[in-house]
Amino acid sequence: MDALFQPLADTLGASVDQIKLISCLLIAYPLGSLFVRVPRSKPALRHLFNIGVAMLFFFPVLRLYSAFFQLLGSILATYFIAKYNKSKSMPWIVFVIVMGHLTVNHVIRVIYGFSYETMEVTSPQMVLTMKLTTFAWNVYDGRRKAEELDKWQMQKRIVEYPSLLEFLGYSFYFPGILVGPYLDYMEYMDLINETMFQHAHVKATIRKGRRLPPGRKRAAYSRMVMGLIYLGAFVVFGGTWNYSISLKDWFVQMPLWKRIALYQLVGPIERAKYYAIWTLTEGASILTGLGFTGISHDGKPIWNGAANVKVLTIEFPENFKVLLDSWNMKTNIWLRECVYKRVTPKGKKPGNMSSMITFFTSAFWHGIASGYYLTFLMGGFITAAARQARANIRPLLLPPPDKPHASPSLLKRLYDISGVILSFMILNYAASPFILLSAEDSIKTWARLGWYGHIIVMGGLLFFYAGGAKWCRAMQKKKGILPPSKGKDGAAKGVSNGKATNGTSTPESEKVFTLPPSVDTFVPPQK
């Protein structure tokens, strides 16, 4: 089938693999409309539909024969290990096997010098790794006492072990099989059985003769249009304006301030390709019914549960935590629930060590290129610095406790503006090794940018740990500020002035009727 895609690849200057991948993402749209027409009373047909479409993608279109059977091997291994191994180490056994298999393929990719334009097994395997390891933890949680589980674990635990057909349908869910979005098993079964659409609050919005709430197609195809716009921006500008300009001779000849400024402009163009594929897959998932999160107060269904990225929040972040929470959101959930919480000793709160292990796992999951490890190592330090600033500086700028609704002061406004600018600049600085991949090119780039990211982050940490944090807490006490309880890392927990700890409040129009625990979508750190 390559002959069908070659003319378009030649016209756009892209590889055939890229064109085939985008074609699969677009083909998923009409197939999503067909999926919802399969009666929910016949769940086996829905599972077979997912498996059949996945095989269509892998065999005649992408011609990834070996990849399909490798994925199938990991799926079967996980299924039988989780079923018959009842020990506490079962999730970690699955984690090591699945992640080890992925790492072997990452090594093979490097040995053969595959570029990111080449479609091979690692991209779908990264998504599958999240699904399989999450499944193992959900099964393990289903065997634990309810009082030992937190809210997410209670919602997602698997008490009744699935049939092999159900598990294969889950593993090969077709809108997300190639690049995501990742979903957990209970979320998949709610989709198959349309459980989330059967509640009285939801049924009230569904017209007679329909099974699904309105707005699904509008939400899906608006994502498709935006995904194509992002894709077009990357195709037009990405070949020239990208992070690799830092390696050009003309770049180093410019003044430092111009180099830093130019690097901020190419960052959004680099990210456009990720925005494109994640937005396209989100739309296709919505067409199958995935992503429904409830009903707003004005009676409108909300379809944002399949989102993997919030573009405006990333490009104009209030702070670095909000930025991280808005990028590759589904992977963030996986890292938080299957790594961050699981490596923390029982009875203790997660701290900087848990964060570092999580960032390292994320780098390991992405591949073996040294650039990944530079980015995520830097990310650990950035997170630590951001926590300190939030816990120690921000409370000093909030309205007094006796005037919680007072207008923000000029210093608070300047703090917020500085947070947006610094978060954006640090993102472009820290993310460059992730794209450049090699340590040599990454170090050269950081040097040509004057090490500004390291100066900001390490300078901030030095300030806080050299006495700045103690001084800030003394000032808080002097002003009569009583911050919420803090963990070992100094990060404040709970709420402040009626707002969530990320400094944002939910718009009234987006507050939703909460679905029951079994179907509630929990939205909160791939290629």
* Catalytically active residues, by annotation: 366
Query: Residue 420 gets which letter from DSSP?
Result: H
Q: How far is CA 350 from the centre of its chain?
A: 20
Name the CA dihedral angle for 508, 509, 511, 513, rounded to a multiple of 10 degrees. Answer: 130
Are 281 and 179 a contacting pair, CB within 8 Å? yes
**Region for residue 166 given its phi and psi (left: phi exceeds 0; alpha: psi -120 to 50; beta: otherwise):** alpha
Cβ proximity of 432 and 446 under 8 Å: yes
Question: Quick check: bond before 181 cis, omega within 30?
Answer: yes
Look at phi and psi of residue 480 and say left if phi exceeds 0, alpha if psi is from -120 to 50, else beta. left
Separation between Cα atoms, residue 69 and residue 63, nearest integer Å: 12
- Sequence-ordered list of residues with C-beta below 8 angstroms from that of 66, at least 6 positions apart, any chain: 121
Q: How far is the C-alpha of 351 from the C-alpha of 497, rounded, in Å?
A: 25
Confirm if 12 and 19 have CB atoms less than 8 A apart: yes
Rounded Cα gap, residues 43 and 48, in angstroms: 9
- The answer to whether residues 122 and 105 touch, using CB atoms and an 8 Å cutoff, is yes
DSSP 301: E
Q: Are strands 292-295 and 301-303 parallel, antiparallel or unpaired?
A: antiparallel
Would you say 468 and 392 are in contact if contact means Cβ atoms under 8 Å apart? yes
Tell me which residue of 49, 36, 28 sits closest to 213, measured CA to CA.
36
Q: What is the 3-state secondary structure (H, E, C) of 445-487?
A: HHHHCCCHHHHHHHHHHHHHHHHHHHHHHHHHHHCCCCCCCEC
CB 371 within 8 A of CB 438: yes
CA distance 408 to 387: 21
Q: What is the dihedral of CA 476, 478, 484, 486, to 10 degrees?
A: 70
Q: How many CB atoms lie within 10 A of CB 350?
A: 19
